[in-house]
Structure 1
Amino acid sequence: MTALAIRNLSHGFGARRALTDVNLSVQPGSFAVLLGPNGAGKTTLISLATGLYSAQQGDIHIFGHSIRRNPLPALASLGVVFQMPTLDLDLTVDQNMTYHGALHGLSRREARERAFEELERFGVNDRQDDKVRSLSGGLRRRVEIARALLRRPKLLIVDEATAGLDVAGRQLLLTHVRSLCRRGLSVLWATHMLGEVEPSDQLIILHQGNVRWEGEACDFAPDGALEAAFLKITGRSA
């Protein structure tokens, strides 16, 4: 069953069309990169796929469940990291995690056990008692992804999670999330950074609200010249 299926999706804000007849799929266990320049429509698409907005046209299915017609089981399979940070800066890491767990019906004990497990994977379990505002930007992003995984989703949607991070922090996040795909997690990773794409990734290029390419990254740029191919398909010059 397809992890995420978007069919004939269109959405606008007043007279401005943000997305036009978008079709794409994310397969189970795949790391799918939603690549596009700023303003391409990535955040609008993610807002629709996570239920923040209701689509004006088209439908979105998560593991076979329509967000429009059957939202509860659709969204129950989903973990999300939004572009804007959503951690409470004045709470500790542990408090942020357990509060999120409580919102999703986890007991305090179960939430803390899962929190320790996820934070340990990211190397931040020793900061559980620290307030979030004392953490660096990179550590906060690790905590946000760990929090999104707390409910053990089958699909993780991430919007520009590495913005503002240094190279080492960006690579750590990408390496860890890709390793989760090998354990069965499906990921839609939205970014405008070409350096975050690997040849084995599923690649979806969004530009001006339209899907310009969908397939394996190695097929999009078989000679390895990803930047040149991307500039060509989006009508930009080097």
Structure 2
Amino acid sequence: MDAKTGFFYLFSVVLLFAAFRVITARNPVHAVLYLMLAFSQASAIWLLLKAEFLAIALVLVYLGAVMVLFLFVVMMLDIDVDSMRKGFWKHFPLAALMGAVVALEMAGVLLGGFRLTEDPATAAMAEAAAKGIQYSNAQEVGTLLYTQYVYPIEIAAVILLVAMITAIALTLRQRKDSKFVDASEQVRVKARDRMQLVKVAATRKAEATPAAEPEKAK
């Protein structure tokens, strides 16, 4: 067994352990930390597969932004863990069934696919070297995303935009502490509705101040 295979098994074992602890940890903060560990191990495995762009994107996006945000949110929220665990065994059969279905699907994919005789990254590097150009993993991913998968990317972008707008609308709707403004009222507004003239009494003249007394002669 070479060093690359050894690192793969090491990262895989740590990844499986961290993923198991994510769903079994009693403390939500510990669960988030284990999830961050799982993402870091997945990034290391992608590095072994010569998918540098995906590995760096996983570290920057999930570990550097999303999971840190989750960690701060979980730490700031006062979560009652005991009340959340009351319905655990009630929903356990459905959760176990869904987990079994996902495991069978993953087993079917792993057993039926990924039987490659040649490393795709190595073949792409050799082809780029034969053409006299420098191989770039990020360039290859960008080319695939914006040529072969351009329509799925656009559909996903529209769905994410709609989800973001919907989340903002649901958050700001029917809240007393939010400054909700009806757009139709803004369109129908008139100048007389915004400005009101008020008569103010004239100001009084300033009273004359008494002259200062001359200093007495010494």
- What is the TM-score normalised by the length of structure 2? 0.25
- Select the structure of larger CA radius of gyration: 2
- What is the TM-score normalised by the length of structure 1? 0.23
**Higher relative contact order structure (alpha carbons within 8 Å, sequence separation ≥ 6):** 1
* Structure whose residues are more often strand by fraction: 1
